[in-house]
Amino acid sequence: MRQFGEVSFVLPTGEGTLAVYWIEGYGGGIFLPFRDATSTQETYGAGRYLYDTIKGADLGATETELILDFNYAYHPSCAYNPRWTCPLAPPQNHLDFPIPAGEQLIQL
């Protein structure tokens, strides 16, 4: 993967900037992994994915903007089975505030 840009956003819980990647193999496309303050307690400890055009997680874009909707944030495949190897959120995509939206861990 190759970083090709970044996105900045403001939410009620905080504001941040995330690196955006281009997947150079496996079909190409835009990829945006992140980790936030909900990781390990409410969401998968290694983070979640917000944007992955290979898997159809694409809410739209222009030449200068991506539509980000954290309600669509989801756990990577490795959250469900240890046989999967997943790219994880790099340090620059770790947020120190919670994003209480998207896929959550099931509390039994």
Give 84 or 97, the one with higher predicted confidence: 97
Residue 42: count of CB within 10 angstroms of its CB: 15
Q: For 14-52, what is each residue's pLDDT tens digit?
A: 999 999 999 887 777 888 999 999 999 999 999 999 876
Query: Which residue's structure tokens are 């496996």?
Result: 26
Indicate the pTM of the whole model. 0.86
Cβ pair 66, 74 in contact under 8 A: no
Rounded Cα–Cα distance for residues 102 and 73 (Å): 4
Mean pLDDT value of segment 44-72: 78
Q: What angle do CA 105, 69, 50 make, to 5 degrees?
A: 60
Rounded Cα–Cα distance for residues 19 and 26 (Å): 20
